C-alpha cells in the first residue's frame, strides 16, 4: 500500500455529492486536474468547520467541489460568495450544489473577480483563492480589507508544481504571480502565514487583530 492509499483509507471518505461531482467533472470537462479533489477538499472542509465562518468568499469555483467543501462549516444563515469566470460551467456547478443541498447558501457570480470583489458589500471570515495565478497579488490586495480581524485567507497552488523553488525560477506570468504573492504575504506584518505542503501547496493566512 502506498502512502497516498494509506492516507485515503484512514481519512473520512468524500460525500456522495462530491464523488458524483468528481466523476462528472472528468466526464464533462477537459481540465479535471483543476478539481480540488478529496485531499484538498477535506482540508478545506475541516478548516471551515473549525472557523465556523458566517461569510465566505471563493475566488475560482471551477465545477464547485471546493464550494461544497467550504460549506461544511458555514454558520447557520451564512453565505458563500463564489466567483467563477467561465460561465460555461454553470449547469454543472448548479447541479453539484443541488446534489449537496447548498443552493440556498451560495451566491454564484460569473465574471472577472477583480471587477466583482469591489462590488461585494460584505465582510468575510474566510476567503479561498484558487483563480488566475497571475493575479494572486491583486486578489490579496482587493480582499484584505474585507476580511475580519482574525479571519482566514487560504490560497491554493502556492508551490506551483515546484516551479517557485527552481533556480533560476521560470519567468512565465503564472509562476511570477505565485512567487510575488508568496513574497508579499511573507513580508506582510498584518498577518501570520503557514504553507502546508498538501498536494500543490496551500497557504493558510490569518489576519491579525
- pLDDT by residue (tens digit) across 98-117? 999 999 999 999 999 999 99
In this prediction, residue 129 carries a pLDDT of 98
Structural domain tally of the chain? Answer: 1
Instruction: Name the nearest CA neighbour of 184 among 126, 131, 144, 151.
Output: 144
User: Which strand (E) or helix (H) includes residue 57?
Assistant: strand 55-59
Residue 206 phi/psi, 5-degree rounding, is -115, 125
In this prediction, residue 3 carries a pLDDT of 86
Residue 68's domain spans which residues? 3-207
Q: What is the pTM of this model?
A: 0.96
List the CATH number of the domain containing 169: 3.40.50.150
Contacts of 36 (CB under 8 A, 6+ apart): 44, 62, 65, 66, 69, 130, 156
Q: What is the pLDDT of residues 51-94, one digit of tens each?
A: 999 999 999 999 999 999 999 999 999 999 999 999 999 999 99
Amino acid at each position: 500500500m502506498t502512502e497516498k492509499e494509506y492516507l485515503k483509507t484512514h481519512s473520512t471518505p468524500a460525500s456522495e455529492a462530491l464523488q458524483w461531482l468528481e466523476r462528472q467533472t472528468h466526464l464533462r470537462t477537459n481540465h479535471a486536474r483543476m478539481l480540488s479533489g478529496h485531499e484538498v477538499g477535506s482540508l478545506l472542509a475541516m478548516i471551515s468547520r473549525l472557523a465556523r465562518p458566517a461569510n465566505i468568499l471563493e475566488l475560482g469555483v471551477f465545477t464547485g467541489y471546493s464550494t461544497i467543501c467550504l460549506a461544511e462549516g458555514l454558520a447557520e444563515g451564512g453565505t458563500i460568495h463564489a466567483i467563477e469566470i467561465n460561465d460555461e460551467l454553470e449547469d454543472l456547478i448548479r447541479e453539484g450544489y443541488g446534489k449537496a443541498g447548498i443552493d440556498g447558501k451560495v451566491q454564484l457570480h460569473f465574471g472577472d473577480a477583480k471587477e466583482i470583489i469591489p462590488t461585494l458589500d460584505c465582510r468575510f471570515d474566510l476567503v479561498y483563492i484558487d483563480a488566475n495565478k497571475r493575479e494572486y497579488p491583486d486578489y490579496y490586495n482587493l480582499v484584505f480589507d474585507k476580511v475580519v480581524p482574525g479571519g482566514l485567507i487560504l490560497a491554493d497552488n502556492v508551490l506551483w508544481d515546484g516551479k517557485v523553488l527552481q533556480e533560476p525560477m521560470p519567468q512565465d506570468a503564472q509562476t511570477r504571480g505565485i512567487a510575488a504573492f508568496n513574497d508579499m504575504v511573507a513580508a506582510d506584518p498584518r498577518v501570520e502565514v503557514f504553507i502546508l505542503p498538501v498536494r500543490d501547496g496551500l497557504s493558510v493566512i490569518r489576519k491579525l487583530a
